[in-house]
Structure 1
Amino acid sequence: MTRVLVARQDNLGDVLLAGPCVRAVAAHASHVTLLTGPHGRAAGELLPGVDEQLTWLAPWIDPEPPPVTAEDTAAFVASVRERSFDKALILTSFHQSPLPLALLLRQAGVPWIGAISEDYPGSLLDLRHRVDGDPPEPERMLSLAAAAGFSLPPDDHGALALRRPLPNTTRLTGGGPYVVVHPAASVPARQPSAAWSRRAVQALTADGHRVFVTGAPSERLLTREVAGPSAVDLGGRTSLAELAAVLSGAQVVVAPNTGPAHLAAAAGTPVVSLFAPVVPAARWAPYGVPSVVLGDQHAPCRDSRARVCPVPGHPCLETVDPADVCRAVTALAQPEAVSLSGTGSR
């Protein structure tokens, strides 16, 4: 009986990208607990292989962190201790350190901890894993699982995946084929303007597509503007599981580099990725499904990790021709679209 804690305390997309790693652990462990932050918890509920979720906001990861308090960290350590884990894997992005969490897990009595770490871990890690090159994020995390002795079973495809069945959303989408446009992103630097997204929706509807515009409740003003009179506005009308179902039923999803793009990939739907190069597309583009990356990947903001676009006019996305979006959607909607996976344009 092996109880394993797998930690990924970022946003929805980051948690979804951890899915193959979680499944690899679940194939060998008797019980898997997924530790997420509050922003990623809903995605964790959709991952196969998770037996339990634990949620705690990590002050060294959250973009708007609360003050660190002894009471908060003590309560977290106590909640980990009472679960008596045998092992823990800490999943982080390349710019994050696993060591603060490793220290707390040691205090909670976790006897074996593994993580990818460039920093010297001292006695905080039993496995200090290194990754060469710049692989896609799911492969990077999966390599840690493999180094810890957790491999995917032979019948696991290694792509992103969701718990099935998903909710029935035909009341929202009706019958017949459709395309989804998700205009929002978690940070402004990765999001095209509302005006550009509206032009893309108009181009898609003029091309004969039935278009649904999706978004969170806080994005209703944006989705209403983008949908206009030519598309159906679903902003704020779905839970995350229902959004996954809507994306699963789409022919193609058009979205910036944000959680719903990875949710579409986990649902098995091709993605037109409007990708601002503030982070590398090689690492963060939609994984495991046919996709086309649009956006200038050599723009001045490249690899800056900027949260707000540092270039006037946001040219990496605003100069994308909506006609290119239509062409990409048409290509990905074809059965032979798998050959386009990983392609890109400027």
Structure 2
Amino acid sequence: MTAVVPHPAAGRAGPLDLRLARRALVVRPDNLGDVVLLTPALRALRAALPPAARLDLLATPAGAAVVPLVETLDGVLEVRSVCWQLVDGRPFDPAAQSQLVSRIAAGRYDLAVIFTSFSQSPWVAGYVCALAGIPVRVGASREFGGSVLTHWVDDLPDGLHQADRALALLDRCGVPGAGPTADRGLSLRVPREATARVRLRWLCLGSAEDDGPSTGDGGTPPKGADPYAVLLPGASCASRRYPASRFAQVAGRLAAAGLRVLVVGTAREAELVDQVRHEATGRHATTNGAEAAVVALAGELTLPELAALLQEATVVVTNNSGGAHLADAVRAPVVTLFAGTERDDEYRPRSGAHQLLRRPTPCAPCRAFVCRYHHECLDIPAEEVACAALRLARRADRSPSPSPSPSPRGDRTSSGAR
């Protein structure tokens, strides 16, 4: 039997000397949730850099929106798209990539850390950073890509949670504070001004007095606030979306249990949000004849305001999307309706009280943007979702009243409650 000989450059990973680093760039041009999942690694990297060093993030507009909530970052290099992330068949634009190289070069960075998920490659981003003159370039990949990366990690374990994967990359490069004892909880800083605006405008609490910025440690709604649930029915792709009609039924049941229900989405999700509210306020979506107190907020909130709204919510119900990670980072009790697009161990909430609901299917994980079958992975009765939300609210001491009777199909729930 022929022995497997590793590539001569395999494991070219460190140690990474950060003592003289002055300007560092983190590359993660993905969605909002991907940046939130990066916060433990950003804390470790910031702690390892010299106090005066600058730490920037290269991100898409969705990811860049999170930056004001991330204390460890100094700035953002926002890019509308990068060639190595395009999935819609657009032709390669050399001029746009040349402009990207120039923008990165203008930052005079001496270090680039390229974070990726297990299915992504760091080599194109590393090549762009090399062309921009960044001397130290760090990334992880099972495939060989030449000398593009000065620090190449080739053996990250499969199946890691995405927050752990980012920390593992730093740990393999010898970054202190990124190893087994690292703080792995997600974290965001919710600005005091955002909390005040949310309390005044959306929670009808009058003036909001606060001693300082909120740090994502959770907490209960302020005195005088009615308990409320936040529903986030949107997601970046159709395959991750729990049916709007069932979201409406969940909203009706939560309203009947005494919660005010805020259905929230972006401006592009206005039709979806309105559909959920409209169906929830119909008699078919309520129980015991209760009138559903359901409010639609589509395109009404900035991202800091959304984080503030989630932080003080009684409970959050969301798809496996950026909203789930945002809620987890501010320690809101969150029920995640997890489609079979990914492995739940790689993306599940774990920083605060949570419950994950899904249905096992043979096609998972499919990685698909659109389900080719009948969305069996999200075939979860609305009653089961509402019961899970109310139970979770009670555990977090935020519940308005006893929950409805348990779902007869509750034994099919995959639970991650803490």
Does the alignment reach a TM-score above 0.5? Answer: yes
- 1:163 maps onto 2:224 in alignment: no
Matched, 1:52 2:106: no
SS at match of 1:233: strand
After TM superposition, the score normalised by the length of structure 1 is: 0.91
Contact preservation (8 Å) 1:10, 1:62:
no
1:1-346 alignment to 2 at 5 Å? 1-2=20-21, 3-29=23-49, 30-56=53-79, 57-64=81-88, 66-129=90-153, 130-152=155-177, 157-166=183-192, 167=194, 168=196, 169-170=198-199, 171-174=201-204, 175-228=225-278, 229=281, 230=292, 231-296=294-359, 298-312=360-374, 314-317=375-378, 319-335=379-395, 343-344=415-416
Whether contact under 8 Å (1:276, 1:295) holds in the other structure is yes
> How much has 1:65 moved relative to structure 2?
6.2
Bigger shift: residues 287-296 or 56-65: 56-65
**Distance across 2 between alignment mates of 1:9 and 1:153:** 22
Q: Which deviates further from its counterpart, 281-290 or 7-16?
A: 281-290
Residues 24 and 114 of structure 1: is their aligned pair in 2 closer, same or farther, counting only changes over 3 Å?
Answer: same
- The alpha carbon displacement at 1:344 in A equals 4.7
Cα deviation for residue 315 of structure 1 reads 2.2
Where structure 1 has 5 or more consecutive residues not aligned to the other structure, the ranges are none
Tell me the alpha carbon deviations over residues 201-257 of structure 1, each in whole angstroms, 9 at most, x when there is no partner: 111112222211110011112111212332111122101111111111112110001
Give 1:321 shift.
1.8
Distance in 2, Cα, partners of 1:325 & 1:234 = 21
Q: What is the distance in 2 between the residues matched to 1:65 and 1:34?
A: 26
CA distance in structure 2 between the partners assigned to 1:254 and 1:150 by the alignment: 36
Letter in 1 for 2:40: P
Q: What is the TM-score with the length of structure 2 in the denominator?
A: 0.76
Q: CA deviation at 1:164?
A: 3.4
Q: What is the Cα deviation at residue 70 of structure 1?
A: 2.5
Question: CA, structure 1 residues 204+164, in 2 after alignment: closer, same or farther (shift >3 Å)?
Answer: closer
Q: Secondary structure at 2:24's aligned position in 1?
A: strand
- 1:156 is displaced (CA, Å) by 7.3
Distance verdict in 2 for CA 1:62–1:253, change over 3 Å: farther
1:82-109, CA deviations, whole angstroms, 9 ceiling, x for partnerless residues?
2222211101111111100101111111
Contact kept in structure 1, 2:338 and 2:357, CA below 8 Å: yes
What are the superposed Cα offsets for residues 256-306 of structure 1, whole Å, 9 maximum, x if unpaired? 01111111111111210000011111101223122111120x214311101
Identity across the alignment (%): 33
1:334/1:164 Cα in 2 relative to 1: closer, same or farther (>3 Å)?
Answer: same
Cα gap change, 1:238 to 1:10, in 2 (>3 Å): same
CA shift, 1:146, in A, is 2.2
The CA distance in 2 between the partners of 1:336 and 1:70, in whole Å, is 52
Is the CA contact 2:139–2:152 (under 8 Å) kept in the aligned structure 1?
A: yes
Q: Secondary structure at the match of 2:298?
A: coil
Q: Could you tell me which amino acid in structure 2 is paired with residue 136 of structure 1?
A: H
Give a deviation string over 1:167-202, Cα, whole Å, max 9, x none: 020121232221111111110000012111111111
Question: Which piece of structure 1 moves more, 30-39 or 8-17?
Answer: 30-39
1:149, distance to aligned residue in structure 2 (A): 3.4
* Deviation of the 1:7 alpha carbon: 0.7
| Contact 2:27–2:58 (Cα < 8 Å) also in 1 | yes
Aligned pair count reads 338
| d(CA) in 2 for partners of 1:149, 1:195 | 50
How far is 1:148 from its partner? 2.8
Indicate how the Cα distance of structure 1 residues 40 and 66 shifts in structure 2: closer, same or farther if over 3 A, else same: farther
Structure 1 or 2, whichever has the larger Rg, is 2
Secondary structure of 2:336's match? strand
Structure 1 letter corresponding to 2:315: V
Most deviating of 160-169 and 264-273? 160-169
Q: How far apart are 1:158 and its partner, in Å?
A: 2.8
Question: Which moves more between the two structures, 40-49 or 272-281?
Answer: 40-49
Q: Give the Å deviation of 1:153.
A: 8.6
Q: Which amino acid aligns with 1:216?
A: T
Unmatched 5+ residue regions in structure 2? 1-19, 205-224, 282-291, 398-413
Q: Give the aligned CA root-mean-square deviation in angstroms.
A: 2.1
CA offset at residue 157 of structure 1?
Answer: 3.6
Summarize the Cα distance change of 1:158–1:16 in structure 2 as closer, same or farther, 3 Å threshold: same
Could you tell me whether the CA contact under 8 Å between 1:7 and 1:35 is conserved in 2? Answer: yes
